């Protein structure tokens, strides 16, 4: 199906937040710290306040500043404080500076130029502290460096272990296995970068008041969560907050965080409810929103001669920067995937997930939420083992991959592999890339330009059921012409979910696809509840709500039809027609749904606007699987890698819309190529300042950097999915980077452990290997 928003988006008609800002409006700018750690001693705002056009300046010393610290991770509220996993460490403005560019004051002015000028007129005096930059600093801080957060004296805000129970297996502990001479062993240290989400639309919101209520129109993935966060941050009833999400130009997890909406709302109250726009520059997006948490991994593996893993260990250290944001959830999620992916043969698996504060910029959620990082670690290991043992990487991986029936011992709800198209994915990928021929063909290259093929697998959960609330609400309203207006809490952020939601609705109600109209704008005043776009959950979870509410709507329609067609038998709704007949196998059209609906609206005896609404909750989950194959050309002297071909094959259950599913895969591959080859936000260890906070210095792959990408699907029918479907939002972003790494190894014999594999790192690797 063509995307329902295709025409509007290609013609420019679609309305994004910036298109909707009313005129006149005020402009807010954040006054940011120019140190990475310390305390604001004083702020002189007098010059700024005297500037004509400045409406006001508010600082971290404002006496009205709410003291409530919120969590900013885009997770649904948890009523029981004992079960709240996210750390409430964020004030609207704070005198304690924890990262370069921290929010210490804000200016509101009549226009953007004045606001910028006012920011520059503000004079701040700091007490500066030494910077905590990395894990070593965090656990052993430099002299005079206080903890990043007083509440967390050791700077490590979470550390979780999982250890497969070895009792009765006869293999001994993980440590004993890793020391056991019966097995081969390897030790590995790996690192992954601070990647930026790099969505096209920057982060922006505008707020105004309606009566005593605050309206926040914002480019977000999580409107309902923004609502409660503004309520908490401003200490006002949540019902006094209305959040509206227009079209969103990408989020990739950055907008699964509460960014500047509470500050914007507070400033709006400060100016008496006038409309205030708070729009970040690209530089602010890069350095003062969120990014993928930079991580280090320390790992070991043991395996036998027969292509079987025996045990793996992996410790993941994640740098959350100055604030927790999504914190530990990310690396824990990644480490879970490390465990599941190659759970096929191994006897034991140990993972550690540790997240620490630093004075780097705050990291948070990014597409695939820790899994690209942990997969990088897992696949570096698989790559090395296969290469060293002379095994076919595909055969080795498939032998050790997750198997049908796998049940995770650590997930708090059933998490079982109930559908598995992975063998077919690998088979198809090998075929498309020409795996066997190319491996033979490129085996003996010795020149300056060498070629290789590589691969990696992926494994990703379909929801967060069990760990967090998984609920979704839907409302359907029948229009006079028999079309169905669909309202959801599930948010379209560019990924195409509106289209598949319409497809599912059409299918479940029994109307043509064209007869479903979806409201793409969420408005917390009226939209059914939805936690938002994250965790690749929307089709999987909201699909359940659509099925449930569609069944209610059908029931009401057929009940009304029964009143109009008293002698109707076996009444049903098929493709927008009420059908019936004495024989279920030969039903005849009796009445168009539009005719029925029009009668229902305007009946003088039984007037009804037929609608249905409801909430569906799930504790189901499943595993998405897939395989990526790449072919590279490596120019050794130039330290240049050209990706010649990428083939990625997914088992995401039944594919609802192949065209948009392919689009998701193409975009995910591109992000993973960036992760593997170029993308890294660099912070200066001396100042904590982001050095490449713009698209000139921070490069993402463009069309010119990518070959033709091939996305294919092995369609399984997952019994847990509402339409046999599994998830597809994030998984595409996982495997290309380690597959490229595997291909470089295949081409050159050089093992790289740090992503991105920049020319510098390639040079170091090639030099160490004696190639240059």
CA–CA distances in Å: residue 519 to residues 168, 490, 497, 682: 56, 10, 12, 40
Q: Does 210 bind its own copies (CB under 8 A)?
A: yes
422 exposure class (CB count in 10 Å sphere: 0-12, 13-18, 19+): buried
Selected binder of its own copies within 568, 594, 668, 701 (CB under 8 A) = 594
Smallest distance, Å, CB 274 to its own copies?
A: 8
Q: Tell me 361's DSSP state.
A: P
DSSP letter string over 405-425? T-B-SSSSS--B-----HHHH
CB 80, min distance to its own copies, A = 9
Return the range that interacts with its own copies (CB under 8 A); candidates 191-199, 294-302, 605-613, 661-669.
605-613
User: Which one of the spans 182-190, 372-380, 593-601, 641-649 is the region binding its own copies (CB under 8 A)?
Assistant: 593-601
Euclidean distance between CA atoms 56 and 45, whole angstroms: 9
The secondary element (H helix, E strand) that includes residue 614 is: strand 611-617
How is residue 22 written in tokens? 């009313």
SS3 state at 454: strand
Comparing CB distances to its own copies, the nearer of 443 and 469 is 469
Nearest to 532 by CA among 35, 76, 156: 76
Of residues 349, 423, 415, the one with CA closest to residue 381 = 349
Q: Does 508 bind its own copies (CB under 8 A)?
A: no
Angle between helices 736-748 and 658-677 (to 10 degrees): 50
22 binds its own copies (CB under 8 A): yes
Q: Where are the beta strands (DSSP E) in 45-139?
A: 54-59, 96-97, 103-109, 123-128
Q: Give the contact letters, 227-266, x = binds to its own copies (CB under 8 A), - = no.
A: -x--x-----xxxx--------------------------
Q: What is the closest distance, in whole angstroms, from the C-beta atom of residue 196 to its own copies in the complex?
A: 30
Q: Which of 601, 682, 700, 749 binds its own copies (CB under 8 A)?
A: 601
Q: Which of residues 437-476 bind its own copies (CB under 8 A)?
A: 469, 471, 473, 475
Among 112, 345, 615, 692, binds its own copies (CB under 8 A): 615
Token pair 């020391």 is at which residue? 179
Given 67, 602, 696, 703, the residue binding its own copies (CB under 8 A): 602
CA 309 to chain centre: 30
Nearer to its own copies, 61 or 529 (CB): 529
* Joined tokens for residue 200: 């096209």
Rounded Cα–Cα distance for residues 322 and 659 (Å): 40
Give the range of 37-45, 293-301, 601-609, 668-676 binding its own copies by CB under 8 A.
601-609
Handedness of CA 562, 565, 570, 571 (dihedral sign): negative
What is the x/- site pattern for its own copies, positions 731-760, by CB under 8 A?
A: ------------------------------
Which of 139, 449, 479, 682 binds its own copies (CB under 8 A)? It is 479
- Cα–Cα dist 116/563, whole Å: 66
- Nearest approach in angstroms of CB 343 to its own copies is 27
Structure tokens at 435: 């795996």
Task: Single out the residue of 94, 279, 346, 487 in contact with its own copies (rule: CB under 8 A).
Answer: 487
- Binding segment for its own copies (CB under 8 A), chosen from 50-58, 77-85, 631-639, 731-739, is 77-85
Q: Which of 53, 56, 76, 685 binds its own copies (CB under 8 A)?
A: 76
The residue from 37, 483, 657, 716 that contacts its own copies (CB under 8 A) is 483
Is residue 617 at the binding interface for its own copies, with CB under 8 A as the rule? yes
Among residues 7, 113, 179, 441, which is the contact residue for its own copies, using CB under 8 A? 7
Dist CA 472 CA 530 (whole Å): 5
| Cα–Cα distance, 732 to 12 (Å, whole number) | 27
Based on the shown chain and the rule CB under 8 A, indicate whether residue 604 belongs to the binding site for its own copies: yes
**613 counts as binding its own copies under rule CB under 8 A:** yes
CA–CA separation, 73 and 355 (whole Å): 15
> Partners of 725 in the beta sheet?
653
Rule CB under 8 A: choose which of 482, 676, 688, 731 binds its own copies.
Answer: 482
C-beta of 265: minimal distance to its own copies in Å?
15
Q: How far apart are the first and last CA of the chain?
A: 51
| Residues 447, 620 contacting (CB under 8 angstroms) | no
Binding mask 528-547 for its own copies (x = CB under 8 A): xx------------------
Please say which residue, 576 or 701, places its beta carbon nearer to its own copies.
Answer: 576
Q: How far is the CB of 498 from its own copies (least distance, A)?
A: 11
Query: Does the footprint of its own copies cover residue 512 (CB under 8 A)?
Result: no
Q: How far is the CB of 246 from its own copies (least distance, A)?
A: 11
Residue-wise DSSP of 17-33 = HHHH--SS-EEEEEEE-
Q: Residue 96 in contact with residue 39, Cβ under 8 Å?
A: yes
When the beta carbons of 425 and 553 are compared against its own copies, the nearer one is 553
One of 44, 127, 606, 768 touching its own copies (CB under 8 A): 606
Q: Is 552 in the site for its own copies (CB under 8 A)?
A: no
| Contacting range for its own copies; rule: CB under 8 A; set: 34-42, 47-55, 196-204, 479-487 | 479-487
Q: Which of 120, 182, 212, 767 binds its own copies (CB under 8 A)?
A: 212
Burial of 113 (0-12, 13-18, 19+ CB in 10 A): exposed
Query: Measured between alpha carbons, how far is 722 from 317 in angstroms, rounded to an integer?
Result: 36
Is 622 among the residues that bind its own copies (CB under 8 A)? no
Task: Answer whether 264's CB lies under 8 Å from 341's CB.
Answer: no
Q: Is 488 exposed, middle or buried (0-12, 13-18, 19+ CB in 10 A)?
A: buried
Are 682 and 692 within 8 A, CB to CB? yes
Q: CB 592 → its own copies: shortest distance, Å?
A: 11
Q: Select 13 or 403, whichever has its Cβ closest to its own copies.
A: 13
Give yes or no for residue 110 binding its own copies (CB under 8 A): no
Helices 261-270 and 223-234 cross at an angle (nearest 10°) of 50
Q: Residue 86's closest CA among 329, 418, 290?
A: 329
CB of 729 to its own copies, least distance (A): 22
Q: Which residues would be at the binding site for its own copies (CB under 8 A)?
A: 4-5, 7-8, 11, 13, 15, 19-20, 22-23, 76-79, 208-213, 228, 231, 237-240, 272-274, 469, 471, 473, 475, 477, 479-483, 485, 487, 515, 517, 519, 525-526, 528-529, 594, 598-599, 601-604, 606-609, 611, 613, 615, 617
């Amino acid at each position: 199906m063509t995307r329902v928003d295709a025409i509007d988006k290609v013609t420019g008609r679609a309305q994004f937040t910036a298109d909707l800002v009313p005129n006149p409006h005020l402009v807010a700018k954040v006054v940011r710290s120019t140190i990475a750690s310390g305390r604001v001693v004083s702020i002189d705002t007098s010059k700024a306040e005297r500037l004509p056009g400045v409406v006001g300046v508010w600082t971290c010393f404002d006496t009205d500043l709410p003291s409530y610290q919120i969590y900013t991770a885009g997770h649904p509220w948890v009523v029981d404080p004992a079960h709240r996993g996210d750390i409430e460490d964020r004030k609207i403005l704070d005198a304690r500076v924890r990262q370069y560019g921290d929010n210490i004051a804000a200016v509101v002015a009549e226009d953007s130029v004045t606001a910028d000028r006012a920011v520059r007129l503000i004079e701040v005096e700091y007490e500066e502290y030494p910077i905590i930059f990395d894990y070593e600093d965090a656990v052993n801080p430099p002299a005079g460096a206080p903890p990043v957060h007083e509440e967390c004296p050791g700077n490590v805000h979470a550390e979780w272990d999982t250890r497969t129970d070895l009792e009765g297996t006869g293999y001994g502990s993980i440590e004993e296995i890793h020391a056991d001479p019966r097995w081969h062993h390897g030790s590995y240290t790996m690192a992954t970068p601070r990647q930026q989400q790099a969505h096209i639309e920057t982060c922006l919101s505008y707020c105004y008041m309606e009566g005593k209520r605050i309206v926040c129109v914002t480019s977000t993935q999580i409107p309902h969560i923004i609502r409660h966060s503004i309520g908490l941050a401003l200490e006002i009833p949540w019902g006094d907050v209305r959040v509206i999400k227009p079209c969103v130009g990408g989020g990739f997890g950055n907008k699964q965080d509460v960014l500047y909406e509470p500050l914007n709302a507070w400033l709006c109250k400060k100016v008496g409810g006038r409309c205030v726009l708070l729009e970040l520059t690209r530089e602010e997006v890069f350095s003062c929103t969120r990014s993928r948490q930079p991580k280090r991994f320390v790992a070991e593996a043991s395996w036998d001669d027969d292509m079987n893993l025996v045990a793996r260990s992996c410790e993941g250290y994640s740098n959350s920067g100055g604030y927790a944001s999504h914190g530990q959830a990310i690396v824990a999620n990644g480490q879970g995937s490390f465990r599941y992916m190659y759970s096929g043969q191994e006897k034991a698996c140990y993972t550690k997930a540790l997240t620490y504060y630093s004075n780097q910029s705050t990291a948070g959620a990014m597409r695939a939420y820790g899994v690209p990082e942990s997969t990088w670690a897992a696949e570096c290991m698989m790559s090395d083992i296969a290469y060293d043992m002379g095994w076919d990487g595909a055969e080795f991986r498939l032998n050790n991959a997750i198997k049908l029936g796998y049940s995770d011992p650590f997930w708090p709800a059933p998490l079982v592999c109930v559908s598995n198209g992975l063998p077919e994915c690998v088979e198809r990928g090998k075929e498309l890339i020409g795996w066997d021929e190319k491996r033979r063909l490129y085996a003996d290259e010795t020149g300056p330009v060498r070629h290789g093929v590589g691969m990696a697998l992926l494994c990703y959960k379909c929801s967060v059921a069990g760990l967090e609330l998984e609920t979704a609400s839907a409302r359907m309203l029948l229009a006079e012409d028999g079309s169905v207006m669909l309202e959801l809490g599930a948010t379209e952020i560019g990924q195409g979910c509106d289209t598949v939601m319409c497809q599912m609705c059409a299918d479940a109600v029994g109307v043509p696809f064209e007869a479903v109209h979806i409201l793409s704008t969420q408005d917390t005043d009226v939209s059914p509840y939805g936690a938002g776009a994250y965790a690749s959950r929307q089709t999987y979870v909201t699909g359940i709500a659509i099925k449930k509410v569609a069944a209610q709507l059908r029931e009401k329609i057929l009940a009304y039809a029964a009143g109009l067609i008293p002698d109707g038998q076996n009444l049903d709704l098929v493709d927008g027609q009420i059908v019936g007949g004495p024989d279920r196998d030969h039903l005849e059209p009796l009445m168009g749904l539009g005719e029925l609906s029009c009668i229902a609206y305007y009946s003088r005896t039984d007037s009804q606007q037929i609608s249905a609404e409801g909430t569906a909750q799930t504790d189901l989950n499943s595993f998405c699987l897939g395989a990526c194959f790449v072919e590279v050309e490596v120019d050794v002297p130039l330290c240049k890698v050209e990706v010649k071909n990428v083939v990625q094959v997914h088992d995401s259950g039944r594919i609802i819309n192949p065209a948009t599913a392919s689009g998701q895969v193409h975009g995910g591959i591109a992000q993973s190529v960036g992760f593997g080859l170029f993308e890294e936000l660099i912070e200066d260890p001396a100042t904590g300042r982001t050095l490449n906070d713009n698209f000139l210095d921070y490069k993402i792959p463009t069309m010119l950097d990518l070959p033709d990408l091939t996305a294919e699907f092995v369609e399984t029918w997952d019994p847990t999915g509402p339409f046999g479907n599994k998830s597809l939002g994030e998984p595409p972003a996982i495997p290309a980077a380690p597959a490229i790494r595997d291909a470089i190894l295949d081409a050159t014999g050089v093992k790289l452990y740090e992503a991105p594999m920049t020319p510098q790192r390639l040079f170091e690797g090639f030099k160490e290997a004696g190639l240059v």
